Amino acid sequence: MALLPILRFPDARLKKIAAPVEKIDDGIRALVADMAETMYEAPGIGLAATQVNIHKQVVVIDISEEKNQLLVLINARITHKDGVQVYEEGCLSVPGIYDKVERAAQVTVEYLDLEGQPQTLSTDGLLAVCIQHELDHLQGRVFVDHLSQLKQMRIKNKLAKQARITA
């Protein structure tokens, strides 16, 4: 397993749309292991392959306190949304930035697990938010894309300033 570098907003590679996984093989399993290690180390609760510059439809999520309930979503698609919730979101690709985003309160998602078996999951709360957030990454969207143009500009400026300070 290896830690993978996480792309930082506004890197143009975060806008790339991920391709479906054709075959779940040892390469995909190794990617999932590396993504999980990277997510836990960051620390975060979700990571999309796009964020580590691999443009395949792979997402890892673990919202448990113990960090022992890894959920792997391959070729996931949301088949049902219901209700509305506003949640303060952050992102490993947008470090130190948090803002409220409106998303569906409940979602149903269909996906393949790590064994290639089709699964369906209906959920709400934080897990629903996390699934929507990570699947956005696979479509080339970052959570700040849901914010006003003014907020987006402020975030870009703040991150640019942080990059100059740490350089």
Give DSSP secondary structure letters for 33-62. Answer: HHHHHHHHHTT-SEEEGGGGT--BSEEEE-
pLDDT value for 166: 76
Q: What is the pLDDT of residue 116?
A: 97
Catalytic residue among 37, 65, 89, 134: 134
Domains (range + CATH), the chain: 12-166 (3.90.45.10)
Eight-state DSSP code of residue 20: P
Q: How far is CA 30 from CA 8, 23, 52, in A?
A: 23, 13, 13
Would you say 49 and 139 are in contact if contact means Cβ atoms under 8 Å apart? no
**pLDDT per residue as tens digits for the range 98-143:** 999 999 999 999 999 999 999 999 999 999 999 999 999 999 999 9
Task: Please say whether the beta carbons of 88 and 103 come within 8 A.
Answer: no
Of 62-66, 85-89, 97-101, 152-156, the one with minimum mean pLDDT is 152-156
Cis peptide preceding 43, ω within 30 of 0: yes
Q: Which of 76, 84, 89, 82 is nearest to 133 (CA)?
A: 89
Distance of alpha carbon 121 from alpha carbon 61, whole angstroms: 13
Return mean pLDDT, the chain: 96
State yes or no: is 102 an active-site residue.
Answer: no
